[in-house]
Amino acid sequence: MKIRIVPIIIVLLTYAVLQILISTGFLNPYWQQIIGFAGIMTISALGLNIIYGYTGQFSLGHAAFYGIGAYTSALITKSFPHLGLFGFILSFFAAGIVVALIAFLIGMPILRLKSDYLGIATLGLGIIVKVVFDNADAVIPKLGGSRGMGGIAHFTNFPWIFFMTVAAVIIVRNFVYSTVGRACISIREDEIAAESVGIDTTRYKTMGFVLGCVFAGIAGVLYAHLYAFLHPSNFDFLKSIDVLLIVVLGGLGSISGTIVAAIGWTFLLEGLRVLLPPQILDWRLVIYPLLLIVVMILRPRGLFGGKEFKFLKG
Amino acid sequence: MDTVLRIERLTKYFGGLKAVSDFSLDLKSGELIGLIGPNGAGKTTIFNLITGIYQPDAGDIIFESKSICGFKPYQITGRGIARTFQNIRLFNELTVLDNVKVACHMHASYGLLSAIMHGGVFRREEKSIEEKARATLDIFKLQDRALETARCLPYGEQRRLEIVRALATDPKLLLLDEPAAGMNPSEVVNLMDLIHFIRERFDLTILLIEHHMKVVMSICERVAVMDFGEKLTEGSPAQVQKNPQVIEAYLGKD
C-alpha cells in the first residue's frame, strides 16, 4: 500500500485532540457517548453505502444485521465474562461470521429482486429479525427478549470506536478503488451491461451485500458494549431508515459524504436536545426532517453527490 | 475456414408469440455478417439468445464446437463473445477509463481480501488492468477522454466507447446491435472504418444488426434477412437486394 503521510498525521492529530479532551474531562461522559455513537453510525452507514450506494441494492433491513451483531457479541461476552477483553475481541469475529452467514443465506434468494421489490423483501427481513429479538428469551433467556438485555460489559471506549471507524473507512476506500469495487459499481450502473462484459453479477451483488452487512454487525458489537443494554426497539425498521437517510443525505457512493452525514446527523439530533428550550423539545423531530427536505431540494444528489475528499481518492 | 458460431434451428417463444422460429446460421472465422429485417423481426432476440440473456425453447447454439446453451451471460462473455446494445448501455457515472477497466475485470485474478489489503498482488494486477485499458483507449483515440464521465461524451463517441468496452473482454466474436443508429452521415462513415479496422486488428468475427442499408451493403460479406422470426434468405448483399421476398418484407406487396 502506498503510505500517505498527511492523512495519517491528520487522523492521529484528531485522535490526540479528542483523547486529551476526554481525559481532561472537558467532554463529559454524555458527549463521549455521543461521539462513540457517531462513530458507530459511520461504520454502519459505510456498510449500507457499499450495499446501496455502490452496488445499487436497495436495502431496508440494515438494522437487522446491526442487531444480530450486537446480540451475538453481547451473548458471547456475557456468557464468557472470565475471558475479559479477549472475549470482546472474540465477539467481533463471532458477530462478523454470524452476520456474514445470515446475510449470505438471505442474500442468495432475495438479491434476485430489483429496487423496490428488494426493499420490501429486506423490510420483511427486518421485521422478522425484530420479532425474533422480542421473543428470543424463550429460547435463550440471556438475550432478554422484549425486556431487553442488560448487564453487558463496557468494553467499547473511545480508542476502540475511533480506530474501528478509521479501519472501516480504509476498507471501504480500498474496496471501491479495486476491480471488485468497480464490478459492484458497474452493477449499480447497468446490470445487463455488467453481465455482458463478464461480471458475475450474482456473485458481486452477494459479496457487496455480505460485506456491507458485516459492517453493520461490527457497528452492532461496538454499540452493545458502549450502552451495555440492548432492546429490540433499537433495531427496528426505523433504525434502518436512519441509516438509509444518512447514506442518501451524504450522497450515494460517497465515503466522505457518509462520514460527514453520519457524524452531522448524530450531533444534530443530540445538539437540538441541548439547544432547544424544554417546552419545544419535541419539535426537534420536526426540525430535522425539515432540514432533510431542504438539503434534498438544494442538493438532490446528497451533500457530496458522489464526490470525495482528496485523501479518500484512489 | 472453420465455423466459429453455429446457430441450429433456434426457436424462442414469448408466451404465444413465436419471436424466433427455426433460425439457423453459420459464421465462419473472420466473416462479417449482417443480420437485417423489419422492426420486430427478432434480430435482437437472436442476440439475446446468443449472449445468454434468454434461453432458447428449442435448437442449439454452438460456439467453437461447444454448445453454449444454458450458460449465463458472463460465462458466454468469458468464452469470447462480446456485444453492444441497441440503446447504448454504458456505465454512465463512471469515467471512460473505468468503463474499460470493468471490462478487464474477467482477467484480473485477485479477490476481495487483496482488494481490501491493497497489497502486492493488487498493485501488480491493477497496473496491468490500467495499462491494458489505457492501451485499448489509445487505439481508438479516446485517450484524451479517459477521465471524463461516460455520460458526457458526444453520442458518436459513446457508441465507440461501447465497442471499445466490448473489445476489452478479448472476444473472438463480436455482436453489434445497430451501431449506426442515431448517427449522422459523417459518424456513419467513421463507424464503417472502425468496424473494418477492429476486424483486422483484433482478428474478429462480426455479426451485425443494422437498419442502415448503406452500412450493411458496403461492409458485410454476407447478409441474412429475417422476418417474423424466420430467416427469409441469406446471401451476398447484391443477391439479397434482388430477392423478391426481401423486397416484399420491407416494402409490402401490391
Q: What is the pLDDT of residues B171-225, one digit of tens each?
A: 999 999 999 888 888 889 989 999 999 998 999 999 999 888 888 888 999 999 9
Q: Does residue A127 lie in a domain region?
A: yes
Position B117 scores a pLDDT of: 85
In order of A169, A170, B99, the CA distances from A312 in angstroms are 9, 8, 21
Q: What is the pLDDT of residues B106-165, one digit of tens each?
A: 888 788 888 888 888 888 899 999 999 999 999 888 889 999 999 999 988 899 999 999
A interface toward B at CB cutoff 8 Å?
A: 1-2, 171, 174-175, 178-183, 185-186, 189-190, 192-201, 207, 211, 253, 306
Position B232 scores a pLDDT of: 87
For B146, phi then psi, to 5°, come to -50, -40
Q: Which of A178, A186, A253 has its CB closest to that of B91? A: A186
Confidence of residue A268 (pLDDT cuts 50, 70, 90): confident
Q: What is the pLDDT averaged over residues A128-134?
A: 95
Domain that holds residue A127: 5-237
- The minimum CA-CA distance between B154 and chain A, rounded to whole Å, is 19
What number of H helices and E strands is found in chain B?
10, 10
Q: Does residue A282 lie in a domain region?
A: no
Q: What is the pLDDT averaged over residues B227-249?
A: 86
Q: Which of A197, A201, A253 has its CB closest to that of B165? A: A197
In order of A97, A190, A201, the CA distances from A43 in angstroms are 17, 27, 25
Confidence of residue A314 (pLDDT cuts 50, 70, 90): low
Asked whether the beta carbons of residue B166 and residue A198 sit closer than 8 angstroms, the reply is: no
Q: What is the mean pLDDT of chain B?
A: 90
Q: Does residue A295 lie in a domain region?
A: no
Task: Tell me which chain A residues have a C-beta less than 8 angstroms from the C-beta of B163.
Answer: none
Q: What is the pLDDT averaged over residues B26-55?
A: 92
For A291, phi then psi, to 5°, come to -60, -40
Residue B1 above 80 pLDDT? no
Task: Tell me which chain A residues have a C-beta less than 8 angstroms from the C-beta of B89.
Answer: 190, 192-193, 196
Asked whether the beta carbons of residue A179 and residue B91 sit closer than 8 angstroms, the reply is: no
Q: Which of B82, B119, B129 has its CB closest to that of A179? A: B129
Q: What is the pLDDT of residues A8-66, one digit of tens each?
A: 899 999 999 999 999 898 888 888 999 999 999 999 999 999 999 999 999 999 999 99
What number of H helices and E strands is found in chain A?
12, 0
DSSP-based three-state secondary structure for A83: helix
Asked whether the beta carbons of residue B102 and residue A178 sit closer than 8 angstroms, the reply is: no
Q: Does residue A257 lie in a domain region?
A: no
Q: Does residue A242 lie in a domain region?
A: no
Q: Say whether residue B102 is in contact with chain A using an 8 A CB cutoff.
A: yes
Which residues make Cβ contacts (< 8 Å) with residue A289, sequence separation at least 6?
A: none
Residues A134, A237, A221, CA angle at the centre, nearest 5°? 70
- The minimum CA-CA distance between B74 and chain A, rounded to whole Å, is 4
Cα–Cα nearest to B32, from B216, B238, B225: B216
Nearest residue of A to residue B163, measured between CA atoms:
A197
Confidence of residue A255 (pLDDT cuts 50, 70, 90): very high
User: What ipTM is given for this predicted complex?
Assistant: 0.91
Task: Tell me which chain A residues have a C-beta less than 8 angstroms from the C-beta of B136.
Answer: none
Position B241 scores a pLDDT of: 84
Position B254 scores a pLDDT of: 66
Q: Does residue A226 lie in a domain region?
A: yes
Q: Does residue A271 lie in a domain region?
A: no
Q: Say whether residue B97 is in contact with chain A using an 8 A CB cutoff.
A: no
Q: What is the mean pLDDT of chain A?
A: 91
pTM for the full predicted model: 0.92
Q: Does residue A89 lie in a domain region?
A: yes
β-pair type (B3-14, B17-28): antiparallel
Q: Which of A175, A201, A253 has its CB closest to that of B115? A: A175
Position B182 scores a pLDDT of: 85
Task: Tell me which chain B residues have a C-beta less than 8 angstroms from the C-beta of A253.
Answer: 93
Q: How many domains does one find in chain A?
A: 1
Q: What is the DSSP letter of A82?
A: G
Q: What is the pLDDT averaged over residues B46-64?
A: 93
Task: Tell me which chain A residues have a C-beta less than 8 angstroms from the C-beta of B51.
Answer: 196
Position A17 scores a pLDDT of: 93
- Cα–Cα distance between B16 and B167 in angstroms, integer? 37
Confidence of residue A288 (pLDDT cuts 50, 70, 90): confident
Asked whether the beta carbons of residue A189 and residue B93 sit closer than 8 angstroms, the reply is: yes
Dihedral, CA of residue A143, residue A145, residue A146 and residue A147, to nearest 10: -50
- Cα–Cα distance between B154 and A270 in angstroms, integer? 48
Residue A187 above 80 pLDDT? yes
Q: Are A130 and A232 spatial neighbours (Cβ–Cβ below 8 Å)? A: yes
In order of A112, B13, B231, the CA distances from B57 in angstroms are 23, 7, 17
3-state secondary structure B212-244: CHHHHHHHCCEEEEEECCEEEEEECHHHHHHCH
Asked whether the beta carbons of residue B168 and residue A197 sit closer than 8 angstroms, the reply is: yes
Q: Say whether residue B104 is in contact with chain A using an 8 A CB cutoff.
A: yes
Residue A251 above 60 pLDDT? yes
Q: What is the pLDDT averaged over residues B70-79?
A: 94
Position A2 scores a pLDDT of: 56
Position A3 scores a pLDDT of: 63
